[in-house]
Structure 1
Amino acid sequence: MKLFRHENRDRNHDTRRVYAMFEIAHTLVDFAAAVCFTIGSVLFFWKQYETQAIWFFTIGSLCFMAKPTLKLAREIKLYRMGKIDSLANRYKD
């Protein structure tokens, strides 16, 4: 069993559910990053909103940083679920 393998996410109902939940989280973070960058870009049109624009860019950058973190966490979770399955199968009656 290895990380980033399609068969890890299709192993059973639980792995498909975990994969779907992480995909939803990834999409929400991606959307949040896009919104933050769009708002930040618009705010830069006015000098008095420069500080707020910088904050939106910072938050958007943190969202973009969260995306690969979510993917790695998902893959580790799926990997561990496979390890538990194989351990359970090893000790079946």
Structure 2
Amino acid sequence: MTFGLLEVLGTMRDEEIVGAEKLLIAYLNTLIREVNIAANATDVKGFKDVNAKLENAIEQIKQHNYTDAMQLVSEAISTATTSGSQAAETLKENGLI
């Protein structure tokens, strides 16, 4: 979903970009809060890396560097996948799922 939004940003006019960037940044900030919940519940270090990558992506979006933002989001997804597997294992070991 994020990739699609970033691609659309590249096709927008200047007056449209401001609002679209605000919405995408709000979405990524919400995602960061969700990842924080996972990080706090599991102590899996990878979730902190995900947040750092998403925060860097936000900075790239603010600078209109959408290609760099896409790369950071891609890295965050990869890290989240690995961390999610570790988190699920931790939750299983503790009988929480």
- Between structure 1 and structure 2, the one with the greater Rg is 1
TM bucket (normalised to shorter chain) is 0.3 to 0.5
Higher relative CO (Cα under 8 Å, sequence separation at least 6) belongs to 1
TM-score where L is the length of structure 1: 0.47
